[in-house]
């Protein structure tokens, strides 16, 4: 596999930073290369919170037990949890129910503080070993990236941080040490200016507030900070002091709440209209008010010509797409509620198991969606690799891919090439080269042991979908919009939900196949792949022919 003209002194570090760049890219990273889980520290905090909601009958005991048992398996390889005493205490606690109140839950709250302090330093120490004994770059990048995002750092800031480390050719140990230093940063709050075009009740409601700024003060502030106020129409604005790690996103959430409140006015209903930019002190350019989309892409709507095919008839697919629309850019609570409502509307049936079992109730919809997503994963990744293969001179593979009329054909060509020659057959030299190489290695592992690899990714998707369901229950039944994992639940679930809806839409429009029937096909495919029926990883969701 061709990578660059000069040998890389530390390919391990380059792969780590390439994957981190994937995780920190809000728009543009294909869904199979996104971050699929939260970090261990937040996962422990989430479990601790679940005990509270279990005691208040918001979460079922079976759901909390399932969450705890899955966490035991997930955190096992996490080297940030230490090697001896700390890890032993965590493992012992996770063997017990953690309902509130209980001695075990009180101990868990104490342990979380010990885990958080020094977490990334322990990762740095764990990397100071011979290269062949290091944890794989995929696990290192996923674990550390998730931890930094969970701390509240914005993806855009972390992407700049990762690029700087890549430019400086940081080693694996230096990446972990830089992450630990970043986590220790105690920067002062940033001042953020949010300006409004229209301000209903300005004199009596806005002007008495300390953080209100008049139109003239807004314009003066922009000029003083080197911004051009030309073309900005404002009736005034507010200056907030916010956490520097994610100041722009916090400002967006404040504005969302303000706009939502204005919809309850009798006169000028919905009259709060913000200027389409936010200004963060120290940032050289205004930040768009509209956040990056969260990556819930249903490409079948455009690829198969259904985007504008709407009429007076409505079906379950139409309802689900409307329910889930908030997932991409909506406020967090409606995004969770709408996203889960879409899953439930498509993948729950009256004959599903009742009671309090692990797969009973509505949780089974999360598992069904996870199987559909898992069966979509191989072809999605193989298709990307097919189009990223770019040798300096066209070869047989690139010419064959160019002649393909479907992604299925292109994916099959890549499978055949890898099985015949290995990942080295792919010339992955684009700017995404290290990310592509990591994907190629994942496909090599998949083709070598498809059932095991698909089982692993299904489990990851199942956890993500169940987290979405759990967070929805906390919002709707617990009447709380401040769950510790709320932002992470939406960030992780959105691209996966888009991938699942994409396959459901495709199957409905091309085969008239019910979503529950597609889920059944996916469940069987995971059991039959690479077996006596000849089912391949490329055709997991295809009808039997």
Percent of the chain surpassing pLDDT 90: 77
Residue 28 shares a structural domain with residue 172: yes
Q: How confident is the model at residue 4 (pLDDT cuts 50, 70, 90)?
A: very low
Segment 126-142 shows an average pLDDT of 89
Give a yes or no: residue 403 inside a domain: yes
Q: Is residue 206 part of a domain?
A: yes
Q: What is the pLDDT of residue 6?
A: 53
Among 255, 288, 321, identify where a domain stops.
288
User: What tokens does 432 get?
Assistant: 């995404």
117 & 254 share domain: no
According to the model, what pLDDT value does residue 67 have?
95
CA dist 410 and 401 (Å) reads 5
Produce one character per residue of 372-397: b if its CB has 16 or more CB atoms within 10 Å, e if not.
bbbbbbbbbbbbbbbebbeeeeeeeb
Q: Which of 254-268, 438-452, 454-468 has the lowest mean pLDDT?
A: 254-268
Please report how the helices 137-150 and 119-126 are oriented relative to each other, as an axis angle in degrees rounded to 10: 170
Structural tokens at position 23:
């995780």
Measured at the CA of 408, the angle between CA 403 and CA 413, to 5 degrees, comes to 60
Q: Give the pLDDT confidence score for residue 184 in this predicted structure.
A: 87
Q: What rounded mean pLDDT belongs to the chain? A: 92
Given 169, 186, 203, which residue is the final one in a domain? Answer: 186
Q: What is the arithmetic mean of pLDDT over 80-93?
A: 91
Look at residue 446 and tell me whether its pLDDT is greater than 70: yes
Q: Report if residue 261 sits inside a domain.
A: yes
Q: Which of 131, 159, 186 is the last residue of a domain?
A: 186
Residue 293 domain flag: no
Judge whether 281 and 192 are in contact, CB under 8 Å.
yes
Q: pLDDT band at residue 112, thresholds of 50, 70 and 90?
A: very high
Helical H segments across 168-200, by residue range: 172-184
For 29-47, what is each residue's pLDDT tens digit? 999 999 999 999 999 999 9
410 in any annotated domain = yes
Q: Categorize the per-residue pLDDT at 3 as very low, low, confident or very high, splitting at 50, 70 and 90.
A: very low
Same domain, 317 and 222: no
Count of domains for the chain: 4
Looking at the structure, tell me whether residues 379 and 319 fall in a common domain.
no
Domain contains 544: no
pLDDT value of position 412: 97
Judged against a pLDDT cut of 80, whether residue 61 lies above it is answered with yes
Same domain? 109 vs 84? yes
Q: Give the confidence band of 198 by pLDDT, cuts at 50, 70, 90.
A: very high
Structural domain including 382 reads 375-454
Do both 278 and 329 map to the same domain? Answer: no
Same domain, yes or no, for 108 and 26? Answer: yes
Please state the rounded mean pLDDT for residues 254-280. 91
Has residue 497 got a pLDDT over 80? yes
pLDDT at 1: 43
Same domain flag for 99 and 44: yes
Confidence bin at 5 (pLDDT 50/70/90): very low
User: What pLDDT, on a 0 to 100 scale, did the predictor assign at position 381?
Assistant: 97
Same domain, 241 and 309: no
pTM of the model as a whole: 0.92
On whether residue 406 sits in a domain, the answer given is: yes
pLDDT digits (tens, 9 = 90+) for 345-376: 999 998 888 766 555 678 999 999 999 999 99
- What is the model's pLDDT at position 2? 41
Same domain, 408 and 422: yes
Residues 432 and 507 in one domain: no
What gap in Å lies between CA 207 and CA 198, rounded to an integer? 14
Q: Would you say residue 65 lies in a domain?
A: yes
In this structure, the answer to whether residues 351 and 470 fall within a common structural domain is yes
């Amino acid at each position: 596999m061709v990578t660059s003209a000069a040998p890389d002194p530390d390919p391990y570090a380059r792969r780590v930073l390439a994957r981190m760049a994937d995780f920190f890219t809000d728009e543009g990273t294909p869904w199979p290369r996104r971050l699929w889980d939260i970090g261990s520290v937040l996962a422990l905090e989430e479990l601790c919170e679940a005990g509270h909601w279990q005691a208040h009958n918001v979460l079922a005991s079976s759901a909390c037990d399932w969450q705890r048992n899955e966490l035991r398996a997930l955190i096992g390889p996490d080297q940030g949890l230490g090697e001896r005493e700390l890890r032993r205490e965590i493992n012992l606690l996770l063997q017990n129910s953690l309902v509130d109140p209980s001695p075990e839950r009180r101990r868990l709250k104490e342990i979380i503080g010990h885990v958080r302090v020094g977490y990334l330093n322990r990762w740095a120490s764990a990397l100071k070993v011979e290269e062949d004994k290091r944890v794989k770059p995929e696990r290192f990048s996923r674990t550390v990236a998730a931890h930094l995002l969970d701390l509240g750092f914005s993806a855009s800031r972390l992407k700049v941080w990762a690029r700087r480390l890549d430019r400086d050719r940081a080693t694996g140990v230096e990446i972990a040490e830089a992450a630990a230093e970043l986590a220790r940063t105690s920067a002062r709050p940033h001042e953020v200016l949010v300006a409004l075009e229209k301000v209903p009740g300005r004199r009596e409601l806005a002007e008495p507030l300390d953080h209100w700024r008049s139109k003239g003060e807004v314009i003066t502030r922009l000029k003083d900070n080197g911004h051009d106020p030309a073309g900005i129409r404002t009736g005034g604005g507010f200056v907030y002091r916010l956490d520097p790690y994610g100041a722009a996103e916090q400002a967006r959430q404040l504005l969302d709440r303000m706009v939502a409140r204005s919809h309850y006015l009798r006169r000028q209903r919905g009259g709060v209209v913000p200027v389409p930019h936010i200004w963060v002190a120290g940032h050289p350019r205004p930040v768009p008010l509209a956040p990056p989309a969260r990556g819930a892409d249903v490409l079948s709507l455009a690829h198969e010509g259904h985007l504008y095919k709407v009429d007076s008839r409505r079906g379950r697919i139409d309802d689900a797409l409307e329910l889930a629309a908030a997932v991409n850019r909506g406020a967090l609570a409606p995004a969770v509620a709408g996203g889960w409502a879409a899953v439930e509307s498509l993948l729950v049936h009256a004959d599903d198991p009742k009671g309090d079992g692990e797969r009973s109730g509505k949780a089974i919809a999360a598992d069904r969606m996870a199987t559909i997503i898992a069966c979509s994963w191989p072809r999605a990744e193989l298709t990307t690799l097919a189009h990223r293969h770019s040798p300096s001179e066209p070869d047989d593979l690139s010419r064959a891919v160019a002649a393909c009329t479907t992604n299925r054909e292109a994916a099959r060509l890549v499978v055949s090439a890898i099985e015949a020659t290995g990942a080295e057959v792919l010339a992955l030299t684009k700017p995404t080269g290290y990310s592509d190489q990591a994907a190629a290695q994942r496909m090599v592992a998949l083709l070598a042991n498809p059932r095991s690899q698909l089982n692993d990714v299904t489990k990851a998707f199942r956890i993500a979908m169940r987290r979405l369901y759990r967070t929805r229950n906390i919002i709707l039944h617990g009447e709380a919009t401040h769950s510790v994992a709320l932002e992470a639940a939406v960030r992780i679930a959105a691209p996966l939900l888009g991938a699942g809806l994409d396959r459901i839409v495709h199957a409905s429009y091309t085969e008239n196949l019910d979503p529950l029937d597609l889920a059944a096909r996916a469940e069987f495919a995971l059991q039959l792949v690479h077996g006596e029926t000849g089912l391949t990883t490329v055709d997991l969701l295809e009808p039997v022919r």
